[in-house]
Amino acid sequence: MSILVTGAAGFIGSHVCEHYLNRGFEVIGIDNFDPFYSKSIKKENVEPFINNSKLHFYESDIRDSGTLQRIFSENNVDHVIHLAAKAGVRPSIDLIEEYYDVNVNGTLSLLQSMKANNVNKLLFASSSSVYGNNKKVPFSESDSVDNPISPYAASKKSAELLCHVYAHLFKFDITCLRFFTVYGPRQRPDLAIHKFTRLIDEGSLISFYGDGSTSRDYTFIDDIVQGIDAALIHLKGFNIYNLGESNVIDLKTLVKTIENVLGKKAIINQLPLPAGDVNTTFADISKAKMELGYQPTQNFEKGIKEFVKWYNSSKSLLTQ
């Protein structure tokens, strides 16, 4: 089987590529090395497998339909795992057009290329942010997602709708996976766990938004990869699944856990909660468990230890 992975050099994408290469699959990786963070970090992400003979890697943008056509024509693609996106809630507020162009038009470009090349099996990486400030917790796939509170969230909801259209009109098999705050080795440097770890380690101020009661369903990368694998096996028709740990950690506990693992105290700069941020994310994963056999296993403290171990081994690159 051959799998095309967009966003292949990113945090999640590099783990997905490595997973399927280790299983002997042909992997076609696409990444445009978006300057949202350092290209050198993304190159380091793919370094463990970049010379694997079963990897065919393209530095390209999913909005480039001509290059997409060439990639499909040069490779026998069976499935697509679409992870490429402009990421981040807060930066999306100032870059609305760019986020929509990449996350919606880029997804449309990919779907059109798949249709033109008779490839109709897709996993799409959506986000827990589509739930907005849903008052019902935990969040279920049957809940309304008509009230996003950031452009990023709205772009992900829009892309889900595009996927539904292609499943309905063109009989694509598409599963949308709503990821809940993924962390672990190779995590993006802008995300809270990575940023807090670096700043606490350096003895610098950390921006602590609100009173510390905001909470997230932090999901370890290995559990996300397991969920992706299960979804690929059960890919049929149109479906949406939450992938989380179904375990909520508040901001105060997050900082305390990182302090304990690093053996250093945080210097806190308390700030108001920024626009676009949700108060909590909490995944109801009963549907994924029942229909996919999804079974997350990672303990949060152990996951932070795994992240810090990676951070320490990569510090010379990450702190440049």
CA angle 274, 9, 235 (to 5 degrees): 90
Tokens representing residue 301 in the block: 């403290």
Q: What are phi and psi of 215, to 5 degrees?
A: -140, 155
38-39-45-50 Cα dihedral, nearest 10 degrees: -170
| DSSP secondary structure letters along 239-269 | EEEEES-S--EEHHHHHHHHHHHHT---EEE
Tell me the C-alpha to C-alpha distance, in Å, between residue 93 and each of 152, 191, 193, 232. 8, 16, 22, 33
- Dihedral sign from CA coordinates of 93, 98, 101, 106: negative
**Cα–Cα distance, 17 to 225 (Å, whole number):** 10
Question: Exposure pattern of 145-177 as b/e (b: 16+ CB <10 Å)?
Answer: beebbbbbbbbbbbbbebbeebbeeeebbbbbb
Q: Kindly provide the residue ranges of all beta strands, DSSP E only, lying in the chain, ordered along the sequence.
A: 2-6, 26-31, 55-59, 79-82, 121-127, 173-179, 182-183, 205-209, 215-216, 219-220, 238-243, 249-250, 267-271
Tell me if residue 152 is catalytic. yes
Please pick, among 20, 58, 152, 311, the residue that the annotation labels catalytic: 152
Catalytic residue numbers read: 152
